[in-house]
Amino acid sequence: MRTKKNIFLIAAITACVVFACEKGLDEETFSVFDANTLSKPVNGDQAVIGTYAALKDNGGYGYYAGYLYWLYEYPADVVTTTLTARQGVQLDQLTYDASNSAIGDVWTSIYRLISRANESEELISNIDYVGNGSTDKLKNQHLAEVRFLRALAYYDATSLWGSVPLLNKPSSQFSEADENPPLEDQATIEAAMIADLQFAEENLPPSYGASEVARATSGAAKALLGRLYIRRLEWDNAAKKLEEVIDKGYDLRNQSEGGIVSLFSRDNRSDNEFIFVLKSSSETGAYTINSNSFGQNSTPWDYNRGWGNFPLNLSFYSIFNPADARRDLLTGKFTTIYGQIMAVPKEYGGEAEAADKDTLVANFVYNLKYPHTGNYNYSGFNNVTVIRYADVLLMRAEALNELNGPNQESINLINEVRTRSNLPGYLLSNFTSKAALRDAIFEERHKEFFMEGRRRDDLIRWGKSASNGVNPLLKFKEKVVPTLKNPTTYSDAVNYVYYPYPQIEIQSNTSLNSGVNAGRVK
Amino acid sequence: MKKKKIWLILAGLLVCLLLLFRTSIEDRFIPLKVKNIELMKLPSNRLRFPVNINASTGCDAVIQYWKKGSKDTLYSTVSYGKQRHQLYITNTVARTSYRFRVMLKKGKEIACSKIYPLETQPIYQATPYFSLERSDPSVDEELKNKYFLTQILTQPGSVVIIDRTGEIVWYEAFQKGVKVSHWTKDRTVLCIVGPEKIPSSGGDEIVELAMDGGVLTHFKKGKGEMDKLVHHEVRKDKEGNIYSLTFTKKLADLSSVKGKKKDTLNGDGIVLFSKQGKKLWEWSVLDHLDPLKDPEILKHKKDWVHANSLYRLENGDFLMSFRDLNQVWKIDFKTGKVLWKLGEKGDFTLDPKLFFSAQHYAHPVLNKSLMILDNGDKTHISRAMIFNLDTQNMVANAERIVALPPEYYTTAKGSAGLFGVKKDKFLFCLTDPRAFLITDMKGKILWKVRVGGDPYRVEEISDFRNPKPVF
């Protein structure tokens, strides 16, 4: 009996060993792996970098790598076009319409950046930084970086179109209506931008370590906010905000450092005069992705086999004092790749009297702010300036003049910029009226910032302040009409302050109809 | 004592046997069960969900899924004879609640998992929208389980499958544009992909995709034997070879018409690749046309005749459509000779009312008839036309014509094919009016989807759904 018992026991134990070892695993488990929710601080950093990358969109000519400055420079009075680029000619000669592809490209790039910023904002917000060994300070910095970039995109959108769709939420929160967003008042957009920039100035660091190049600083947020205030003619806000940037780690590149010409040297892309730039990489394989189109397009073929797509009117050369170092950023006289001398004619302040076999008389001048070398070298390793310190100085000078009329601080600020370029300083007694000093400031900006994307905004603001806000196109018309091939192209029925909404947007956004472009095109 | 020893030895043997055949006993006794399910949501595609399944033992597996509250059950493909399976949910619409469960089968034994939720996200991208504007009840039955393949030409591009309500149920996005797409007999999508700057629906890549997103075929210009850009058409023949239209060049003496002594003509060709990408056959229209017979050859030489569709027939010959000639050609595969030309100035006797212009999508239908979309460049009326060809007497008659109202005229692109089980309806893709239409034989519009961008072509898919497995 005992034996039998033993046997049953052994059999039972055996059965347990064989069958029971799987017990407890039989419970069915279910999990969702959702890669759409990235959860580590490093993912937050990646989201930030991805948002910066949208500044150049797909590289080449995208957004700040090219087309944006087409829209800012071509219609104004300095940069003109060669006849080969049809889209550019339309912008230059004010014959564009809603189907101009550069207008459509910039619109798309802007909203692509905004969309990336929105997605990044949500992603960063959902990441537990502290719980993953990081800090909330870094989390707020990451949020501040994407909000700064979003504000910059809206700055461009409102400069170019005025009222635009406001879309500050991630796609996960989209309703049906968000897929066809209506136009929002410019003031509403600007309120959102101010909120973004105020958050950014609070939460961005004043500077970064050497490995983190070209990221937005609190100074960049303040300078952009100052630029927005000044566009809104809020002089007091602008003066105060810009003062917060002055002497905060930025200065002009002075003559002992090589002056303004060396500021644009490719060896000097981290100068502390640059407050915020689109940085281009010199890493191998950077072609089209990290390059911009300015180097290749700025200079002519005869100079260094450039494409010469940004010729400047000769009359622009003539406004410079020959001592002005900024004139050295123009191709006044050079030896062509074929060995001839190309020079600006005497009547425009240059040296050429008449063409002969060794001398060519220039039809245009070209800017040297985006130097490049080599043949068909697309990889323009140049900074594309978004905001630099000289701009902050001149904007504060302008705001103080609008507030108080001619004043010593404005004169001092302008003189900083002038003396850096070998020019004598102004005296307060040179200016007897607010208007006179205003004109001097805009003339200074004209010479300082050519081909840096500022001229169109400047002409419109100049017109506004010179007409007490009544006629934003006062100066635009005065300066641009003489540069048109056919002056009758200019139409008083068109409000050139705003570009037409792109055709692609009107066709795909059911909230818009073709009527939205009334008064924006001929 | 002796007895006891024997018992012990026997017991020991039993233990050994049990241990030795443990696995087969498990097979016999371990119940078939789902142990673990992992649902994956990946950002690369918001309508495609890999599901990892771990079963208690080797078995077959399939996923059943359905819209919450619906009785219309969908299935994944079946994965056979494994313990760990990866299956895909591939037929969903955005922003919708689904339920799913896993079914396992081993021999006659069936096991099901619990039911789990799947919430799909919105598809946020530059996708043009498709919206159903009309669906006549008379086509309800016909549209059941029908899907439609189309494409987004602009960058970023996409291959898109929509259901009968215009909802996107499947897509694959590309950085480049998708110029044309084709649903193959193997239930895969074949397409031409290329940057926008390549004109004439041209591209530099041929891609074949499985429904789970896997790339089955990928030819790229400059790699392997693909040495020319392709355009307008990519399809498979009955052997599974891939054929496409190409851009070809040829030097010609145009000095007698004020051109150069060595002038370059740009025309169209055919290329046939094996599945592996080996070039099997090539043909060029430039070997079959005399440039000096075109009085405007200097104007046309950059894109002469403009081929825009290609179809390989059962016997291996090709049908090729030339927009600028307003003709469809049949080309002999063995000799490369042009067997006949249909259309204005062609080889068939044809009533001038049947002349077509800037036509697209020449393909055989109903045994030996030939169907096209006549864009109607000359009349500004687009028509679906089916021709009956008498190749003995070289007479062509219209078997069926549906002329669309003027508002559906499309200057370029587009397609027209027969639709439905009885092939008694027409399916149109109309590019300029941005519409997909199904009409009856008289042209009455029964179904219409409005498209947000320019579509190139639409194809009917009858076998997009995975069949219900025998479980």
Nearest Cβ partner of B18 from A14, A29, A507? A14
In a domain, A7, yes or no: no
Residue pair A511/A501 in contact (Cβ under 8 Å)? The answer is: no
pLDDT the model gives residue A20: 33
Query: In this complex, do B452 and A508 lie within 8 Å of one another by their Cβ atoms?
Result: yes
Minimal CA–CA distance to B446: which of B21, B141, B154, B232?
B141
Tokens representing B148? 């439609």
Which tens digits make up the pLDDT trace of B260-316? 999 999 999 999 999 999 999 999 999 999 999 988 898 888 889 999 999 999 999
pLDDT the model gives residue A1: 44
In a domain, A308, yes or no: yes
In a domain, A137, yes or no: yes
- B433: pLDDT strictly greater than 60: yes
Provide mean pLDDT across the span A246-271: 90
Q: Categorize the per-residue pLDDT at A210 as very low, low, confident or very high, splitting at 50, 70 and 90.
A: confident
- A27: pLDDT strictly greater than 80: no
Looking at the structure of chain A, the number of domains it has is 2
Q: Categorize the per-residue pLDDT at A15 as very low, low, confident or very high, splitting at 50, 70 and 90.
A: very low
**At A469, phi and psi to the nearest 5?**
80, 0
pLDDT the model gives residue B2: 59
Sign of CA pseudo-dihedral A503, A509, A514, A516: negative
pLDDT the model gives residue A37: 67
Strands (E) located in B129-238 = 130-135, 147-152, 157-163, 168-174, 177-183, 189-194, 202-203, 205-209, 215-220, 230-236
Residue pair B460/B182 in contact (Cβ under 8 Å)? The answer is: no
- Using the structure block, give the residue that is written with the tokens 């649902």: B39
- Using the structure block, give the residue that is written with the tokens 């060709």: B269
- A224: pLDDT strictly greater than 90: yes
Q: Which CATH class is domain B28-119?
A: mainly beta
Nearest Cβ partner of B43 from A3, A29, A36? A36
Distance of residue A190 Cα from the nearest chain B Cα, in angstroms: 26
List for chain B the helix, strand, coil content (%; round to 5).
10, 50, 40
Provide mean pLDDT across the span A483-498: 95
How far is residue A326's CA from residue A323's CA, in Å, rounded to a whole number? Answer: 9
Domain boundary among A336, A361, A386: A361
Query: Most A CBs within 10 Å: which of B121, B131, B175, B434, as the mutation test of the A interface?
Result: B121
pLDDT the model gives residue B200: 80
Query: In this complex, do A508 and B25 lie within 8 Å of one another by their Cβ atoms?
Result: no
- Using the structure block, give the residue that is written with the tokens 């393949």: B149
Whole-structure pTM value: 0.58
In a domain, A396, yes or no: no
Q: Which residue type does B214 have?
A: G
Domain holding A466, by residue range, is 37-204+454-522
How far is residue B193's CA from residue B158's CA, in Å, rounded to a whole number? Answer: 9
List of chain B residues whose C-beta atoms are within 8 Å of the C-beta of residue A18:
18-19, 22, 25-26
Q: Which residue type does B220 have?
A: K
Distance of residue A124 Cα from the nearest chain B Cα, in angstroms: 16
Other C-beta atoms lying within 10 Å of the C-beta of residue B280: 13
How far is residue B231's CA from residue B413's CA, in Å, rounded to a whole number? Answer: 12
Nearest Cβ partner of B41 from A7, A10, A34? A34
Residue A492 CB contacts under 8 Å (≥ 6 apart), including other chains: none
Residue pair A48/A426 in contact (Cβ under 8 Å)? The answer is: no
Strands (E) located in A200-330 = 274-278
Query: In this complex, do B43 and A33 lie within 8 Å of one another by their Cβ atoms?
Result: no
pLDDT the model gives residue A175: 82
Tokens representing A123? 């992603």
List for chain A the helix, strand, coil content (%; round to 5).
50, 5, 40
Strands (E) located in B368-444 = 369-374, 383-390, 395-403, 415-419, 425-430, 435-440
- A340: pLDDT strictly greater than 60: yes
- A3: pLDDT strictly greater than 60: no
Other C-beta atoms lying within 10 Å of the C-beta of residue A279: 20
Q: Which residue type does A21 have?
A: C
Tokens representing A266? 């490719």
Domain boundary among A325, A343, A361: A361
pLDDT the model gives residue A380: 63
pLDDT the model gives residue B15: 62
Which tens digits make up the pLDDT trace of A409-435? 999 999 999 999 999 999 999 999 999
Q: Categorize the per-residue pLDDT at B454 as very low, low, confident or very high, splitting at 50, 70 and 90.
A: confident
Residue pair A265/A273 in contact (Cβ under 8 Å)? The answer is: no
Q: Categorize the per-residue pLDDT at B124 as very low, low, confident or very high, splitting at 50, 70 and 90.
A: low
Q: Is A247 on the interface with B (CB under 8 A)?
A: no
How high is the ipTM of this complex?
0.75
Q: Is A176 on the interface with B (CB under 8 A)?
A: no
pLDDT the model gives residue A83: 65
Tokens representing A480? 């641009």
Rounded-to-10 torsion of CA B454, B460, B463, B465: 50
Residue B361 CB contacts under 8 Å (≥ 6 apart), including other chains: B309, B321, B371, B372, B373, B414, B415, B416, B417, B457
Same structural domain for residues A183 and A63?
yes
How far is residue B470's CA from residue A310's CA, in Å, rounded to a whole number? Answer: 69
Query: In this complex, do A6 and B41 lie within 8 Å of one another by their Cβ atoms?
Result: no
**Nearest residue of B to residue A510, measured between CA atoms:** B452
Distance of residue B11 Cα from the nearest chain A Cα, in angstroms: 6
Same structural domain for residues A355 and A489?
no
pLDDT the model gives residue A507: 85
List of chain A residues whose C-beta atoms are within 8 Å of the C-beta of residue B196:
none
- A459: pLDDT strictly greater than 70: yes
Domain ranges of chain B: 28-119, 130-461
Other C-beta atoms lying within 10 Å of the C-beta of residue A64: 24
Distance of residue A517 Cα from the nearest chain B Cα, in angstroms: 21
Which tens digits make up the pLDDT trace of A167-195? 999 888 888 788 889 999 999 999 999 99
pLDDT the model gives residue A40: 87
Region of B224 on the Ramachandran plot (φ > 0 left; ψ -120 to 50 alpha; else beta)? left
Domain boundary among A314, A340, A361: A361
- A35: pLDDT strictly greater than 80: no
Could you tell me the strand order of the sheet in which B435-440 lies? B130-135, B445-451, B435-440, B425-430, B415-419
Provide mean pLDDT across the span B349-374: 95
Same structural domain for residues A333 and A479?
no
Rounded-to-10 torsion of CA B222, B225, B229, B235: -140
Query: In this complex, do B33 and A28 lie within 8 Å of one another by their Cβ atoms?
Result: yes
pLDDT the model gives residue A10: 46
Query: In this complex, do A3 and B8 lie within 8 Å of one another by their Cβ atoms?
Result: yes
Distance of residue A446 Cα from the nearest chain B Cα, in angstroms: 37
Residue pair B127/B438 in contact (Cβ under 8 Å)? The answer is: no
Same structural domain for residues A347 and A481?
no
pLDDT the model gives residue B31: 87
pLDDT the model gives residue B25: 54
Which tens digits make up the pLDDT trace of A85-105? 788 999 999 999 999 989 999
Sign of CA pseudo-dihedral B94, B95, B98, B100: positive
Residue pair A379/A59 in contact (Cβ under 8 Å)? The answer is: no
CATH of the domain at A43: 1.25.40.390
Least confident of A200-204, A358-362, B10-14, B396-400: B10-14
CATH number for domain B130-461, candidates 3.40.1000.10, 2.120.10.30, 1.10.510.10, 3.40.30.10: 2.120.10.30
Q: Categorize the per-residue pLDDT at A8 as very low, low, confident or very high, splitting at 50, 70 and 90.
A: very low
How far is residue B225's CA from residue B215's CA, in Å, rounded to a whole number? Answer: 18
- A23: pLDDT strictly greater than 60: no
- What is the Cα A459 distance to its own chain's centre? 18
Quote the DSSP letter at residue A357.
S
How far is residue B151's CA from residue B179's CA, in Å, rounded to a whole number? Answer: 7
Q: Is A16 on the interface with B (CB under 8 A)?
A: no
Same structural domain for residues A189 and A71?
yes
**At A306, phi and psi to the nearest 5?**
-80, 175
**Nearest residue of A to residue B130, measured between CA atoms:** A508
Output the CA–CA distances (angstroms, integers) from residue A103 to A19, A50, A99, A498, in the order listed: 72, 23, 8, 11
pLDDT the model gives residue A60: 67
DSSP, collapsed to helix, strand or coil, labels residue B334 as coil
Strand partners, A444: none
**At B230, phi and psi to the nearest 5?**
-115, 165
Provide mean pLDDT across the span B256-263: 89
Nearest Cβ partner of B122 from A29, A171, A508? A171
Nearest Cβ partner of A26 from B33, B37, B41? B33
In a domain, A318, yes or no: yes
Distance of residue A503 Cα from the nearest chain B Cα, in angstroms: 12
